[in-house]
Amino acid sequence: MIAAAFRLAYLLRFEVSWEVFNLGAGSALSFYQRMVMLLIPLWLFIFAIVGLYDRQKLLGGTREYSLVFYATTAGMFLVIAAGFLEPRFIFARGWLILSWGFTFFFTSFGRFTIRRGVYYLRNFGFLTQNAVIIGANNEGISLAKQLTAWKSSGLNVVGFLDKKSPVGEQVIDDLIVLGDVDVLERLITDFDITELILATSAFSSRDRIMEIFRNYGISGEVNLRMSSGLYEIFTTGMTVKEFAYIPLVCLNKVRLTGLDHFLKLLLDYSITIPGAILLFPLFALIALAIRIDSKGPVIFPRRVMGMNGRQFDAYKFRTMYINSDEILEKFPELKRELSKNHKLKDDPRVTRIGRFLRSSSLDELPQLLNVLMRDMSLVGPRIISPEEIQNYSRWDLNLLTVKPGISGLWQVSGRSDISYEERVRLDMHYIRNWSIWFDLEILIRTVPAVIKRTGAY
């Protein structure tokens, strides 16, 4: 990939007539061929120095791309420094800039392609490592569910080790308790286990954890990995920073950072801005229909929870009569149902045009403004009111680490036809398994879901 990048840079710099380049600098192909023969090993050496061939950093997604960027940038500055120190070392600046950009792009693309190939093979059981989870409590079960659902992780969970549960007890799916830590040596051999995952909250004794670490923490046969013990908020990730040589763990305040955050923002704006412009005539028609159908404002601002607990007004086209509370008081059974499910299928408060807007999801179009204001995203968890947050129980901290979405996994999975508990589960699944590809998949599935109007009321 590096060689292809250098060659394409030479092609565009010297063999394509672009006025932007000054062709005065030495353009002899033989000169650049000799220089590239030196630069390729240099680039590979820099890649190795920053850890791009470290097994722990391979297949690392955005973190891997950032290392590629740092390495290619370092290589470019070394070439610039060489040209400054040795005046006879003359090269075209345009070629170097092109080489830098192409090297980053080509190398990243190559690693992306390889990673996708590895992920595909892992779905069939190839290129995986067998793992056992020590602790069959809630944290251990949550870890197992996450790892088994995300097959691209490369870890194949074979079972649990737990002192409090009998051998052979089924924990989840086909995963059973294989025994206690005392039989771990035999299990490592029998199941070819290379990864030990310790659910720290499963142990009330710190001494027990230290014993496991002494036996396997520095073992050359297996890798011992310890979870944080805070499985309720493990979706955000953690960073470790040393203060006075003391490593302290800090929980990230948001789920998406760095390149992930940029890609999601780019996806939101690239669709929302042209979409809002094209849909403006439809906005005007809907507003006119609402005013003709019933008295009241066109837009209804709903107070909802945003990222990090910040409340904001989510805009929707008004679909109810302005005296909706008075109407609901006449139906106590519906009031109880609303309190339980936060949704009514046959809601007497909804206007005629409101029913159409809800069934077609057109009532949510003003939320495009919330996306532009960065309060919401095109894809995300359901928007919920401050009163609903208690229904998320221990998962409420996870919910507030991402922006709510106009569409989401809940919408393409049945919307209001599914139970409230299932909606919560779908929101948590989306947050834990987010990727830009997951967002694109949901957006594609949103179109037929809206057309079919399944669960829309």
Among 71, 98, 122, the domain-final residue is 122
* Confidence check: pLDDT of 345 > 80: no
Task: Write out pLDDT tens, residues 119-143.
Answer: 889 888 899 999 999 988 888 888 8
Extract the tokens encoding 38. 């030196």
Say if 319 falls within a structural domain.
yes
List strand residue ranges (DSSP E) for 73-192, in order: 129-134, 155-161, 170-172, 175-179
Task: Write out pLDDT tens, residues 193-216.
Answer: 999 999 888 887 778 888 888 888
* Confidence check: pLDDT of 436 > 50: yes
Share of the chain above pLDDT 90, in %: 30
Number of domains in the chain: 3
Question: What is the pLDDT at residue 25?
Answer: 46
* Confidence check: pLDDT of 369 > 90: yes
Whether residue 154 is found in the same domain as residue 57: no
Question: What is the pLDDT at residue 95?
Answer: 86
Whether residue 105 is found in the same domain as residue 168: no
Whether residue 97 is found in the same domain as residue 133: no
Extract the tokens encoding 362. 């057109």
Share of the chain above pLDDT 70, in %: 88
List strand residue ranges (DSSP E) for 308-449, in order: 311-317, 377-379, 405-407
* Confidence check: pLDDT of 394 > 70: no
- The CATH number that applies at residue 193 is 3.40.50.720
* Confidence check: pLDDT of 175 > 70: yes
Give the domain extent around 355.
Answer: 258-452
Whether residue 213 is found in the same domain as residue 265: no
Whether residue 350 is found in the same domain as residue 308: yes
Question: What is the pLDDT at residue 184?
Answer: 87
Of 104-108, 199-203, 238-242, 326-330, give the lowest mean pLDDT range. 238-242
Extract the tokens encoding 348. 């007497």
Q: Which of 63, 59, 191, 57 is nearest to 121 (CA)?
A: 59
- Would you place residue 110 in the very low, low, confident or very high pLDDT band (cuts 50, 70, 90)? very high
Whether residue 73 is found in the same domain as residue 29: yes
Average pLDDT of the segment spanning 23-38:
73
* Confidence check: pLDDT of 242 > 80: no
Whether residue 275 is found in the same domain as residue 342: yes
- Mean residue pLDDT of the chain comes to 84
* Confidence check: pLDDT of 332 > 90: no
Report the half-sphere exposure of 262 (CA within 13 A, side-chain side).
3
* Confidence check: pLDDT of 23 > 50: no
Q: Looking at the whole model, is its pTM more than 0.85?
A: no
Among 122, 138, 154, the domain-final residue is 122
For residue 199, give every residue at least 6 positions away whose Cβ sits within 8 Å of its Cβ, in sequence order, or none: 133, 134, 135, 137, 139, 140, 143, 227, 229, 231
